Amino acid sequence: MKLTYHGHSCVHLTDGNHSLIIDPFLSGNPVAKTKAEDIRTEFVLLTHGHSDHTADAEAIANANDATIVSMLELADIYSVKGIKTIGFNMGGTADLGFAKVKLVQAFHSSSMPAGGGQPAVYTGMPCGFMIDWNGLTIYHAGDTALFGDMKMFGELYDIDYAILPIGDFYTMGPKDAVIAARWLQAKHVIPVHHSTFPGIAQDAALYAAQLEEFGITGHPLKPGDQLELSE
């Protein structure tokens, strides 16, 4: 299976027959190497409603006749536009046919601008995804702070790859993300949500080196990089 990192928190997973993309932010992303119109996928997974995670969700879904998978309230926003959705809730699992996706908690906020000077629209709780696909367990944490239930995740799930934010300011930073990786007992960690803008600039290679001290393999990918996933 192959993972392509598109910058910020956007990753695209494919096994050659099926694919899904998580948190597509390509248009307006200064570090992205790929355009939204070049994405081919069956499912669009969204961890929360902020524009740096949903910017291209509608366009990609429409171009591919793809299904948006997210928290119920966020899915409803797209459903009324005629887009296929799977809207479910925390702790629930959606069967995509080739993979199962479980919603797990994240500690962040989730909203979309309403426009016209109106207050932001609430888009449901933020979440992470625990993905079971081809014998691999892939955890995308979404935007989150460090929280104690990550220890529980490490006990409940045999996590092969953890995709963790390290940017700080809006999410946990590298120090907390090292703790998260240890609690999760992840075999591999891919740092995301960093270096898109100056305010979240981080040294992903240094973070990976810190993980190595605990026997965890870090993959400091750059936008456009691909990684072959294996057990």
Residues 17-50 pLDDT 10s: 999 999 999 999 999 999 999 999 999 999 999 9
Q: What is the pLDDT along the chain (231 residues), one digit of tens a residue?
A: 999 999 999 999 999 999 999 999 999 999 999 999 999 999 999 999 999 999 999 999 999 999 999 999 999 999 999 999 999 999 999 999 999 999 999 999 999 998 888 999 999 999 999 999 999 999 999 999 999 999 999 999 999 999 999 999 999 999 999 999 999 999 999 999 999 999 999 999 999 999 999 999 999 999 999 999 987
pLDDT of residue 36: 98
**187: domain range?**
2-221
Q: What is the CATH number of the domain that holds 160?
A: 3.60.15.10
pTM of the predicted model as reported, rounded to 2 decimal places: 0.98
Domain assignment present for 231: no
How does DSSP assign 71-138, residue by residue? EHHHHHHHHTTT--EEEE-TT-EEE-SSEEEEEEE--S--EE--STTPPPEE----EEEEEEETTEEE
pLDDT of residue 231: 76
pLDDT of residue 66: 98
Domain assignment present for 191: yes
Domain assignment present for 26: yes
**Cα 219 from Cα 211, distance rounded (Å):** 10
Domain assignment present for 175: yes
Contact predicate 43/140, CB 8 Å:
no
The angle, 0 to 180 degrees and rounded to 10, between the axes of the packed helices 204-212 and 174-184 is 40
pLDDT of residue 123: 98
Token readout for 14 is 């494919």
Cβ contacts of 117 within 8 Å, gap of 6 or more: none
The structural domain count of the chain equals 1
Token readout for 143 is 């935007």
pLDDT of residue 115: 87
Q: How far is CA 175 from the centre of its chain?
A: 20
